[in-house]
C-alpha cells in the first residue's frame, strides 16, 4: 500500500468513525429532545395549575382581609355595647336606689 492509498484508507476510516459518532450523537440528541418535550408537556399543566392556585391564594387573602376588618368592626361594636350595658346597669342601680328611697319615705309617712 502506497502513501496515497494509506491516506485514502485512513480518511475513509476516519469518515466512517466520525459519521458513526455523529449519528450516535444525533440519536442521543433526538432522545434528549424527546425527553425534554415530555418534560415541557408535564410542566405546562403544572404551571397552569400554579397560576390557578396563585389566583385562588390572592382571592382567599383578600377575603380573609375583609373578614378580619369585619371582625375588628364587630369587636369595636361589641366593646361599645358592653360599655353601654355597663352604663345602663349603673343607671338602673341608681334609679333602683332612688325608688327604694322614695318607697322608704312613703312608708315612713
| Cα separations in angstroms, 71 against 6, 9, 80, 100 | 93, 90, 14, 42
Residue 29 has pLDDT above 90, yes or no: yes
pLDDT at 69 over 70: yes
User: Against a cut of 0.75, is the pTM above it?
Assistant: no
Instruction: Tell me whether residue 73 is exposed, middle or buried, using C-beta atoms within 10 angstroms of its C-beta: 0 to 12, 13 to 18, 19 or more.
Output: exposed
Q: Is the pLDDT of residue 43 over 80?
A: yes
Q: What's residue 105's pLDDT?
A: 86
**Above 80 in pLDDT, residue 76?**
yes
Amino acid at each position: 500500500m502506497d502513501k496515497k492509498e494509506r491516506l485514502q484508507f485512513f480518511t475513509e476510516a476516519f469518515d466512517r468513525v466520525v459519521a458513526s459518532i455523529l449519528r450516535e450523537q444525533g440519536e442521543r440528541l433526538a432522545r434528549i429532545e424527546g425527553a425534554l418535550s415530555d418534560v415541557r408537556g408535564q410542566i405546562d399543566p403544572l404551571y397552569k395549575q400554579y397560576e390557578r392556585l396563585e389566583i385562588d391564594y390572592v382571592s382567599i387573602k383578600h377575603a380573609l382581609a375583609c373578614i378580619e376588618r369585619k371582625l375588628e368592626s364587630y369587636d369595636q361594636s361589641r366593646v361599645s355595647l358592653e360599655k353601654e350595658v355597663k352604663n345602663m346597669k349603673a343607671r338602673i342601680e341608681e334609679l333602683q336606689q332612688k325608688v327604694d328611697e322614695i318607697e322608704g319615705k312613703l312608708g315612713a309617712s
